[in-house]
Amino acid sequence: MCSCGINAPLNVCPHQQRDAAFDAYRFRHNSKGQSLGHPCPAPAGKCHDRDTDARLPDTRYRREMVGMIRIPAKGAPARGIPAMPVTLPGTVGAVVVLILVLAALAGWRRAEPEDLSGWRAERLAAFQLWQAGDPAREIWDHPDAPVLVALPAGSFLQGSPDSERERFPDEPLQQPVSIRHPVAIGKYPVTRGEYARFIQDSGYKPRTICRGYAGETDLLPRWHFSWRRPGFDQTNRDPAVCISWYDAKAYVDWLSRRTGKPYRLPTEAEWEYAARAGTRTARWWGEDPAKGCDAANSADLSAKDRFTDWEVANCRDGALFTAPVGSYRPNGFGLYDMLGNVWQWVEDCATDGGGECPQRVMRGGSWHSNPRYVRSAVRRIDGAEIGYAAYGIRVARDP
């Protein structure tokens, strides 16, 4: 079941958005080049099979796979070539060529090397400086790893009360939850530089279809979008985006191998405990989203300059897309970007039950989210394989 609170689009409710682009990704053909289960974007009764218009005539030449294959005309075999019947599936050949070309381009965009020499030198210097100072409550296991903040065990009210003005009807009501043991949470979302180092060192090849910024209000899937190129410019200090739940799990598994420490994604309860930092208001800074432009990067007047139809907070945070992590003030636990900038995957399955879990949960809202979604209690649900230019990671481990 879809609603504005669960599995809703980043800035609008499900009933306001048609996701034909992703349906097209699932498009399949049979051996005759006919579409199977093709979602029709046209009104009922007006759908036609666009492939049936692409039949090739019985001519001297036909297209097959790549290039051209010469076929002798009937009754006139070419010199030195024995006459033989040939049947070429022209439409299927064209589709295969397109798939091969797109696959090659996609492989190139995923495998393009990243120059991290400058980033690694800066990180090593920062790591050595941090070791000399040894800040209280912070943990930094390795120059390639994110900085963590150790949080004490404690209790809080998880969910939203009936009285919360922006509450969605299907949000869980408040209930007391205890975090029985201390937990270390990422001080910031994982940055692009940290994620690039993971890709470089592990050789991991994400297969995530990224929905990036293509000039429209909605984020759309395109072959050239990836964590490297989400459709807008990023620095290595910006949060990594276009991350699926599977990518996030691969990242924390690599961190565990790299550092020898048991890294993981936070649970929903741990995430909300960290986000609230002892508060009971809709947002850790209070109820009014307009008072949070120095605390979170979400849809506000800076975004409305470009996206004129958006519902936004009545303030300016200075960022149109992602902002470098730590650009805004931290919450009471010293954590940055717990709300806004990027949605953050958590460990939890969206549904109860054992076996495979295709739907996963993320929290926090993003640069692309209208103010109602940038609250401590909001949950977003999506397929574990999906990546948006607003989906990121925050890590955790036991201190």
DSSP 73: P
Q: Record the pTM.
A: 0.74
| Cα–Cα distance measured from residue 380 to residue 171, given in angstroms and rounded to the nearest whole number | 10
Helix (H/G/I), strand (E/B), else coil: 65: coil
Confirm if 186 and 395 have CB atoms less than 8 A apart: yes
Dihedrals phi, psi of 4, to nearest 5 degrees: -70, -20
Asked whether residue 72 is assigned to any structural domain, the reply reads no
Residue 129 is assigned to a structural domain of this protein: yes
Q: What is the CATH number of the domain that holds 305?
A: 3.90.1580.10
- The domain of 266 spans 117-397
**Residue 15 is assigned to a structural domain of this protein:** no
Structural domain includes residue 263 = yes
Token reading at 288: 């009014």
Could you give the C-alpha distances from 4 to 1, 171, 192, 271, 373, in angstroms and in order? Answer: 10, 10, 30, 21, 9
How far apart (Å, rounded) are the C-alpha atoms in residues 351 and 321?
Answer: 31
Nearest in space to 237 (alpha carbons), one of 294, 293, 196: 196
User: What is the Cα–Cα distance from 319 to 297, expressed in whole angstroms?
Assistant: 7
What angle separates helix 192-202 from helix 245-259, to the nearest 10 degrees? 70
Residue 349 lies in a domain: yes
Strand order in the sheet with 391-392: 379-383, 359-363, 343-349, 391-392
Task: Spell out the per-residue pLDDT of the chain, length 399, in tens.
Answer: 444 444 444 554 443 443 444 344 333 344 334 444 444 444 444 333 333 333 333 333 333 333 333 444 444 444 444 545 545 456 777 776 676 666 555 555 545 668 899 999 999 999 999 999 988 899 999 999 999 999 999 999 999 999 999 999 989 899 999 999 999 999 999 999 999 999 999 999 998 989 999 887 888 888 889 999 999 999 999 999 999 999 999 999 999 999 999 999 999 999 999 999 999 999 999 999 999 999 999 999 999 998 998 999 999 999 999 999 999 999 999 999 999 999 999 999 998 766 789 999 999 999 999 999 999 999 999 999 999 999 999 999 999
Question: Does residue 351 lie in a domain region?
Answer: yes
For residue 297, what are its two tokens? 């990067």
23 part of a folded domain: no
The total of structural domains in the chain comes to 1
- CA-to-CA distance for 135 and 316, rounded, in angstroms? 32
Task: Please check whether residue 295 lies inside any domain of the structure.
Answer: yes
